[in-house]
Amino acid sequence: PQTIFLKDYEAPAFAVESIALCFDLREKGTRVLSTMTVVRQSENMPNLVLDGDPQMDLLSIKLDGTPLPAGRISRAGEQLTIKDMPASGVLEIEVEIEPQNNARLEGLYKSGGNFCTQCEAQGFRNITFFPDRPDVMTRFTVRIEADKAAYPVLLSNGNRIEQGDLGAGRHFAVWEDPFKKPAYLFALVAGDLGVLSDQFTTRSGRTVALHIYAKARDLPKCQHAMDSLKRAMRWDEEVYGLEYDLDIYNIVAVSDFNMGAMENKSLNIFNTKYVLADPQIATDTDFDNVEGVIAHEYFHNWTGNRVTCRDWFQLSLKEGLTVFRDQEYSADQASRSIKRIHDVKTLRAFQFPEDAGPLAHPIRPDSYIEINNFYTVTVYNKGAEVIRMMHRLLGVEGFRRGMDLYFQRHDGQAVTCDDFVAAMEDANGADLGQFRLWYAQAGTPELTIEDHWEESTGRYELHIKQSVPQTPGQTEKAPMHMPFLLGLIGPNGQEMDAELVAGEGTRHDAGWLLHIRQSDNRYQFSGLGSRPIPSLLRGFSAPVTIKASLNRADKLFLTAHDSDPFARWEACQDVMIETLLDLVKAVDAGQPLDVGQDLIDACEKILEDAQSDPAFAAELMTLPGEAYIGQMMDVVAVDAIHHARIHLRHVLAHALESHWRRLYREMTDTVFGLSPEQKSRRALKNVALIYLAALGDNETARTHYAQSNNMTDRLAALQVLVNGSDDAARDAAFADFYDRFEMEDLAIDKWFALQALSDKPDTLKTVRTLRNHSAFSLRNPNRLRALVGSFASGNQLRFHAVSGEGYAFLSDIVKHVDQLNPQTAARLVLPLIRHERYDPVRAGLMRKQLQALLNVDGLSKDVYEIVSKSLM
């Protein structure tokens, strides 16, 4: 397979002024007629090159009304070349495609009996021949013809300008999008769908019709998405002054979808997982995720659609920025500090390993084989951290000035990450020259921090060194510019007053904002009456790792006193990690396991004060996950980590039993509700349930399940029962769950996932059985992620069983899925690629499976790219 390089970018040779598409949707093959006006942009490029799927059936091609002779066209691979194209002309191309057989879920395909599309990044080339690149933007008019009874709803982008009957039971609709857009934002839906409608009045007084389309039986579950959409529309007006620009906004929910959702202009297509929510089938977390993704896709209307990417290397231009926007939106809805903790946990759990592994790439990659493989946590979530750092460096108002200038300069254009940074610089007179390295250098920077207190002068010095690790293809790294938020805390737990006398930094409402620019940085504070305890990297102000000389007592002091909630949580987690790593060593050495009374005392204090912010206490008391503990080790001690973590939970359960029992009672509400307070109480109640179960108390979980009237509680009980010792109670609960939710795909996904996450020794056997369950299908990405994804990426203990059977199971699934849906197969294979992190036996078994995949005939370039890079 061929590698594409950013350095080879060339502007398009031809522009497309407009395109008219006509779809004749049939059960056995769909004809697509495209009529486009093409205009040359560059004198020395006589040929017009269009992209198109090699399998696509080209029926006819005309230039200015005359069929093109065979000698003028050539087809090779994904490209159709038209030789000696005149300076301008009208091309008419007719193709036939087979959406009914499209299992890749890219281009036009069928889901649940309905037609829908997914064109980002390069799906439009499966629909017709077109210059399928984001810097070719054009005006779309789309005519859809279909059977009226089977497909009463016909949708595309923009406004419907015509509709009517065609006879013979067929009908049509014509949609026109007044905005120029790249082909990746094209969308079409034809189906038998119900609709939930509402409206929104923009701040300038325009009325926008809002519609959410879903299966009729799912409409009652769309209200939360609708409410979220309206809140997001208002928020973007208030925070960024951005208003919606069309009279209609449609969302369609489909159950077979590779990604979470897609921001097609005025016709978002969503995975049902991010639209449907009611308390019976969705957990509190699901509600939050729906709200976040609805907002994300809405925000793309400006950051992505009005201003789009010049090429796919610039993907973070729209994704990093839009993730940052959705994170901030969600932070404004409930608890800002808990949102920040969750976002950092995600970054550490998924992006840090990516950045330290064989697929490490900068947020603006230099090359790819398959662009679908670059919709990564690095491009999205590290990309959002990079935007957040600019927000921090420039301040709220400075950042807003930069955004305003960005839209003023680039509305309607396809631009680069550099254009964005330039707008931020120019609007603020700032120099982000060194900061731009964040776009080019991969790897998580490591900070090493030491401090020095001089009693006689009252001076305190902080010495921060940074280094950026080597990553594939990048051996030399330069130091980065980053904001470092610091607090100095006195013995009474209060912030201390001080002067910064050496080093670059400014006072900040959350302490000090220090600039790190060098490999070696020193900051000196004077005017201190006693030694401060430093609160480091408050709010996680840069996406880095830290080694600091703080001792355990300092960290527990911060756990009790830090006024920055993120830093407080971090200090507590640090002590837990340190404790767990000691326990792992003791397990391995067969020594007695000791947790330390100081940690128990700190936790008791947290539980005594839990009433004021139950969700925050729940966060503090949630132990780091097994995979994250593994990240802290040179070689992942799969079994010892599990034992150590169980032990710590056991100790905290017993030592604090009366608090757990009290909180479980106090946090139980009689009436269900979705207010932030009620969700917060539920979070702590369900953490208490986990600790009560660690006491060997199965009864509470059984009753919890029986009495639950919402999915959050129900799932919490199942999570405990699936690992518990009472097999009868577990089987009864899982059977009840299945019967109750048999018709609810999203709930059944949870049923599959929970069983795959069990720590029981026979989990792989269960997973193999479930693979043959009548409700399982290799064709549905949600189901695959639920069963296979959960097992391989969420169950370190059982997936990494030293027998290697977990690896063999995964590679077999990947092989099969790859023949249907390469994009999803390439995601599923990821848990195999970090073999260098495991002992020689496991590593060898992992490599054996990767090697076997590489030898599969007809392997997709998607899976090839991941697997081959992981073996380099």
Interacting span for ligand DPP (CB under 6 A) from 233-241, 257-265, 553-561, 651-659: 257-265
- Residue whose CB is less far from ligand DPP, 177 or 326: 326
Q: How far is the CB of 242 from Zn ion (least distance, A)?
A: 16
Q: How far is the CB of 374 from Zn ion (least distance, A)?
A: 13
Active-site option among 92, 106, 291, 297: 297
User: Out of ligand DPP, Zn ion, none, which partner does residue 259 contact, by CB within 5 to 8 A per kind?
Assistant: ligand DPP
Structure-token pair, residue 480: 């980065």
CA 330 – CA 333 distance, rounded (Å): 5
Give the DSSP letter string of 747-803: HHHHHHHHHHT--STTHHHHHHHHHTSTT--TT-HHHHIIIIIHHHHH-HHHHT-TT
User: Out of Zn ion, ligand DPP, none, which partner does residue 262 contact, by CB within 5 to 8 A per kind?
Assistant: ligand DPP
- Residue whose CB is less far from ligand DPP, 262 or 394: 262
- What binding mask, one character per residue, do residues 313-342 give for ligand DPP by CB under 6 A, x or -? ------x-----------------------
311 binds ligand DPP (CB under 6 A): no
Interacting span for ligand DPP (CB under 6 A) from 254-262, 395-403, 443-451, 664-672: 254-262
Q: How far is the CB of 293 from ligand DPP (least distance, A)?
A: 8
Q: Are 525 and 488 in contact, with CB atoms under 8 Å apart? A: yes
Q: What are the distances in angstroms from CA 41 to CA 12, 47, 584, 635, 739? A: 7, 12, 64, 56, 62
The greatest distance separating any two alpha carbons of the chain, rounded to the nearest whole angstrom, comes to: 95
259 binds ligand DPP (CB under 6 A): yes
Q: How far is the CB of 297 from ligand DPP (least distance, A)?
A: 6
Beta strands in 192-341 (DSSP E): 194-201, 207-214, 248-254, 261-262, 267-271, 308-309
Q: How far is the CB of 254 from ligand DPP (least distance, A)?
A: 13
Side chain identity at 86, as an amino acid letter? P
Alpha helices in 25-172 (DSSP H): none
Q: How far is the CB of 323 from ligand DPP (least distance, A)?
A: 8
63, 95, 222, 261: which one binds ligand DPP (CB under 6 A): 261
Q: How far is the CB of 318 from Zn ion (least distance, A)?
A: 7
User: Out of Zn ion, ligand DPP, none, which partner does residue 120 contact, by CB within 5 to 8 A per kind?
Assistant: ligand DPP
Interacting span for ligand DPP (CB under 6 A) from 293-301, 385-393, 626-634, 717-725: 293-301
CA 825 – CA 789 distance, rounded (Å): 10
CA 348 – CA 355 distance, rounded (Å): 10
CA 239 – CA 396 distance, rounded (Å): 10
Interacting span for ligand DPP (CB under 6 A) from 15-23, 198-206, 292-300, 498-506: 292-300
Interacting span for ligand DPP (CB under 6 A) from 258-266, 342-350, 360-368, 415-423: 258-266
Rule CB under 5 A: which residues touch Zn ion?
319, 322
The 10 Å Cβ neighbour count of residue 274 is 24
379 binds ligand DPP (CB under 6 A): no
Q: How far is the CB of 202 from ligand DPP (least distance, A)?
A: 22
92, 120, 326, 570: which one binds ligand DPP (CB under 6 A): 120
CA 681 – CA 678 distance, rounded (Å): 5
Q: Which residue in the block uniquely carries the two structure tokens 């040359």?
A: 40
Structure-token pair, residue 398: 């400075």
User: Out of ligand DPP, Zn ion, none, which partner does residue 143 contact, by CB within 5 to 8 A per kind?
Assistant: none
- Residue whose CB is less far from ligand DPP, 263 or 451: 263
User: Out of ligand DPP, Zn ion, none, which partner does residue 127 contact, by CB within 5 to 8 A per kind?
Assistant: none
Is 98 known to be catalytic?
A: no
Backbone angles phi, psi at 229, to 5 degrees: -60, -45
Interacting span for ligand DPP (CB under 6 A) from 42-50, 261-269, 506-514, 836-844: 261-269
Query: Pairing state of beta strands 57-63 and 114-118?
Result: unpaired
Q: Which of 226, 198, 180, 162 is nearest to 19 (CA)?
A: 180
- Select the residue whose beta carbon is closest to ligand DPP and give its number: 262
**CA 90 to chain centroid:** 41
- HSE value, Cβ hemisphere, 13 Å, CA-based, for 802: 8
**Residue 729 preceded by cis peptide, ω within 30:** no
Q: Which of residues 205-244 bind ligand DPP (CB under 6 A)?
A: none
What are the residue numbers of the active site?
297
Interface residues toward ligand DPP, by CB under 6 A: 120, 259, 261-263, 296-297, 300, 319
